[in-house]
Every structure is written in C-alpha cells, then in structure tokens.
Amino acid sequence: MPRIARADVFVFRAPVANPVRTSFGLMRDRAAVFLRLTDEAGAEGWGEIWCNFPNVTAEHRARLFHAFLAPRLLGRDIADPAAFFAETDRALHVWGLQSGEPGAFAAALAGADITLHDLAARRAGIPLWRHLGGTDAAPVPAYASGLNPGEEALRQVRGARAAGHTRFKIKIGFGDEADIATLDPVFADLRPGERVAVDVNQGWDPSRAARMFGRLARFPLAWVEEPVPADRPWDEWRALRAASAAPLAAGENLRGAAAFEAAIASGTLGVVQPDACKWGGLSATLPVARQVVAAGLSYCPHYLGGGVGLMASLHLLAAARGPGWLEVDVNPNPLRDEVVAGAFHLRGGDVALPAGPGLGVTPDLAALARHRVLELTATA
C-alpha cells in the first residue's frame, strides 16, 4: 500500500453579516480547518478539525496537527485507521494532560482519522458510508439547525422550509419569557408532519431547567438539547429527565468511549449526539453510534462547521442507520456551501447519499483561496 507522502492543513475564515447566536456567545465569522493527506500514488483524503467555538482556536489546532499528528502519519502505509486512532490516542493522552488541552488534541486526531478513512474509501473507489459498513443507500433524515432566537426564528424556519426542510432546531436559553416568545409563533406556523427541537447550549442550572420544562410542556418538542452543562452528574440528568415532557439530548461535549457508555447507561438521554470532528473521528464515533442505536436511542451526529465535516457526518449516519437526523446548519457559511455544492441534495427533509468515492466532495482550493488565512505543509 502506498505510504503517506504529504500532509496539508488549511485554515479558512469567512465573515458573516448576521452573527450566529447561542446562550454562551456569538460567532461573528465562520472558520474551518481542513486536512488533506496525499499518498505516494497521488491519492488524496480529506478531513476537518472542529473549531466551531471559540473559532479563534482554528489556527492553533491547525498547528497542533502540523506539529504532532503529521509526523506520525508521514511515511506510513496506514491500512487500518482504527488501529492508528487507538495507537495515537494513547500517545496524545499525556500531551493533552500536560498542555491542559486534551480537547484540542482530540479534535486534531479526529480530523486526521476522518482523512484516513476518506483516503481509504477513495482508494477503494466506494462511498465512505459503504466503506464504513453501511448497506442502505436510502436518503438520510435531516434537520435545519442553528436557528437564532427571537423574531429571527420564524423567518429562518420559513426559509429552511422553502429549502426543503421539515425538521428544525431553535436556540433558546436567552430568558424564560424570551424563549416562550420565540417558540409561540413558530409552533403556530408549523405544517402537518413538521417537528421542532430546542437547544439550550448548557444555558440553565438544574432548578431553572426544571422550571422551564413545565413551561415547555405545551410544545410537542422533538427534544431539549443540553439544558444544563454537559459535565453535571447523571443523577441530576435523571431528575431532569423525569421532569421533562420531551426527550433530552446531549453528546457534543462528551469525549471518550467511556463517557458515551455512561451516557447511554444513565437512561437519561433519548438522543445522543457525538461530534466526529471534535472527538473520535469515524473510528471511535461509529461504534458509539451503533451502541446508541442498539440501545433503542436516536443517534443524531452533532455538527456545525465546514462542508467536509458535514459530509463526514452524513456518511456516519448512513452507516449507523437507526432513528436519527443529520444536523444541517442553515446559517450562511461559504466554507460549507462552496464545498458541498452539487453533492448535497435535500428533498422532503431528507438528504440523498453521494454516489462518488469517499466523502463525495473535494474542496476546491482555488475557489476557497479568498478565505484562506493559513496553510501548513509537511512531507515525508
């Protein structure tokens, strides 16, 4: 098998006119960290490192990949990405502890893992979802995410509906009265069969969450996401689950197989949402997804970034199947839209699987050049 001869990492930034709002802060521009591995035969694989918030970390994570991951990749013929992930995860553990940045190292490794799987699928000439063991080519259910609070919510729901969405997730956690005022017009405008979830982004403490659950009970919510900080004890989550009329969702801020095993075993979550660009890549996230499905829960991959990570999440959900929706951020983001153009087809709320090898997309570096702020290259 050809050895990896070159590792490139690219950081892109694109300004947006309307910031993306969450209960913990604003995103005033969109950033993405894309990876490319090239082997001796010229085959390429692409991946993405999570840098959604705060996106000032994008350049730092790119440099972490360049300094610590690229040297472990170059000159090797990696036939088994999962074995590489396990080996490297152990090696990076101490570095993450020493630096106080285990999450940053985990994200860099996750991006590398996605790149290795994409490379393997492209070499084999098959779509990534099939490379991951998927057998069902049916379209994947999706939902429109990132919908801002307040008066914007109804406008964004209508815009997402016009684009083909039938499922929506709205950000709340901006004040009790403001949250209800956001949801009332949205639910009054819903059409038959449409669903709405809400995301608190860890914005409440347990007592406030319990109080708000009583007020939210009149809305038939698909789920309530991260009502409290993700690191609260599972006993607290169990009490919240008993108080909520809607299922609870979490997972984007969990890291490690043991953390997800505990989440599944807790019996508190109806929806589990690992982010493959933030932890685990495809090698570690796919087993979690299958455990979620086997437990009778919904696997909904978290994702809010560039186009490479969105496509990786699509392939993961297609490989895992079971109940679950693909998260599709509908806020303006050229680092997503310009990558997936022509390969991402939404109809009736579902996304068709791309037929091409690997991710089914290849970022056009020339088209993205106006957004590029950093490029680092290492060769064997």
Q: In this predicted structure, what is the pLDDT of residue 219?
A: 98
Say if CB 246 and CB 223 are below 8 A apart.
yes
Q: How confident is the model at residue 25 (pLDDT cuts 50, 70, 90)?
A: low
Per-residue pLDDT tens over the stretch 174-219: 999 999 999 999 999 999 999 999 999 999 999 999 999 999 999 9
Whole-number Å distance between alpha carbons of 6 and 41: 11
pLDDT tens digit string along 310-346? Answer: 999 999 999 999 999 999 999 999 999 999 999 999 9
Alpha-carbon Rg of the chain, whole angstroms?
20
pLDDT of residue 21: 67
* Res. 370: pLDDT tops 90: yes
Give the C-alpha separation, 145 to 150, whole Å. Answer: 15
Share of the chain above pLDDT 90, in %: 92
Q: What percent of the chain has pLDDT over 70?
A: 98
* Whole-structure pTM value: 0.96
SS3 assignment for the chain: CCCEEEEEEEEEEEEEEEEEEECCEEEEEEEEEEEEEEECCCCEEEEEECCCCCHHHHHHHHHHHHHHHHHHHCCCCCCCHHHHHHHHHHHHHHHHHHHCCHHHHHHHHHHHHHHHHHHHHHHHCCEHHHHCCCCCCCCEEEEEEEECCCHHHHHHHHHHHHCCCCEEEEECCCCHHHHHHHHHHHHHHCCCCCEEEEECCCCCCHHHHHHHHHHHCCCCCCCEECCCCCCCCHHHHHHHHHHCCCCEEECCCCCCHHHHHHHHHHCCEEEECCCCCCCCHHHHHHHHHHHHHHCCCEECCCCCCCHHHHHHHHHHHHHHCCCCCEEEECCCCHHHHHHHCCCCCEECCEECCCCCCECCCCCCHHHHHHHEEEEEEEEC
Which strand ranges, in their side-by-side order, compose the sheet holding 4-22? Answer: 44-49, 25-39, 4-22, 372-379
Length of the chain as a residue count: 380
Average pLDDT over every residue of 69-76: 97
